Structure 1
Amino acid sequence: MAVLPLVVLFLLFQIFVLGLPRRDVRNILTSTALAAVGLFFFLLGVAIGFIPFGRAVGAALGAVSQKWLLLPAGLILGFVTTWGEPAVRILANQVDEASNGSIHRSLVLYAICIGVSVSCALGLLRIGYEIPLLNLLVPGYMLILVIMWFSNQNFVAIAVDAGGVATGPLANTFLLALALGVSSSMDKQDPVIHGLGFVAVVTLAPIASVMTLGLLLRLKESRQASSKGAKQC
Structure 2
Amino acid sequence: MNLILDFLDMRHVAAELAMAFAPLVVFFLYMQYRSLHLPTAYVMRMFKGVALSYVGLVLFLQGVTQGFLPAGTEIGRIIGGAEWRWALVPLGFLFGFAATAAEPAVRVLATEMEKASSGAVKQRPVLITLSLGVGVFVALGMAKLLAGFPILWVVVPGYLLVLAMARFSKPDYVAAAFDAGGVATGPMTVTFVMAVVLGAAEALEGRDPVADGFGLIAMVALAPILSIMILGMIYSRRRSDT
Q: Same fold (TM over 0.5)?
A: yes
Given candidates 60, 73, 77, the residue that maps to 1:55 is 73
**Letter in structure 1 aligned against 2:54:** A
RMSD: 1.8
Could you tell me the TM-score, scaled by structure 2's length?
0.85
Do the aligned partners of 1:120 and 1:202 also contact (CA within 8 Å) in 2? Answer: yes
Q: CA–CA distance in 2 between the matches of 1:49 and 1:205?
A: 26
Given candidates 84, 107, 113, the residue that maps to 1:95 is 113
- In the alignment of these two chains, the number of paired residues is 224
Given candidates 172, 176, 180, the residue that maps to 1:162 is 180
Given candidates 202, 223, 227, the residue that maps to 1:209 is 227
**What whole-Å deviation, never above 9, does each CA across 1:205-228 have from its counterpart, x for those lacking one?**
111011012223333444x26xxx
Given candidates 130, 135, 141, the residue that maps to 2:148 is 130
Residue in structure 2 matched with residue 178 of structure 1 by the alignment: 196
Say if 2:55 is the partner of 1:42: no
Post-superposition offset of 1:108: 0.7
Post-superposition offset of 1:17: 3.5
Given candidates 210, 215, 222, the residue that maps to 1:192 is 210
Q: CA–CA distance in 2 between the matches of 1:48 and 1:55?
A: 12
Given candidates 117, 139, 143, the residue that maps to 2:161 is 143
**Letter in structure 2 aligned against 1:185:** A
Post-superposition offset of 1:47: 1.8
Given candidates 134, 140, 146, the residue that maps to 1:116 is 134
Residue in structure 2 matched with residue 3 of structure 1 by the alignment: 21
Q: CA–CA distance in 2 between the matches of 1:66 and 1:152?
A: 44
**What whole-Å deviation, never above 9, does each CA across 1:105-160 have from its counterpart, x for those lacking one?**
11111110111011111111122222212221111000011111112433222211
**Cα–Cα, structure 1 residues 25 and 220, in superposed 2: closer, same or farther, change >3 Å?**
closer
Post-superposition offset of 1:26: 1.9
Which blocks of at least 5 consecutive residues in structure 1 are unaligned? 226-233
**Cα–Cα, structure 1 residues 107 and 152, in superposed 2: closer, same or farther, change >3 Å?**
farther
Residue in structure 2 matched with residue 74 of structure 1 by the alignment: 92
Residue in structure 1 matched with residue 5 of structure 2 by the alignment: none
- Report the secondary structure of 1:64's partner residue: coil
Post-superposition offset of 1:60: 2.3
Post-superposition offset of 1:23: 2.2
**What whole-Å deviation, never above 9, does each CA across 1:163-219 have from its counterpart, x for those lacking one?**
122112211211121221111212243322221211111010111011012223333
Post-superposition offset of 1:41: 0.8
Residue in structure 1 matched with residue 42 of structure 2 by the alignment: 24
Which blocks of at least 5 consecutive residues in structure 2 are unaligned? 1-18
Q: CA–CA distance in 2 between the matches of 1:9 and 1:195?
A: 41
Q: CA–CA distance in 2 between the matches of 1:85 and 1:188?
A: 33
- Report the secondary structure of 1:2's partner residue: helix
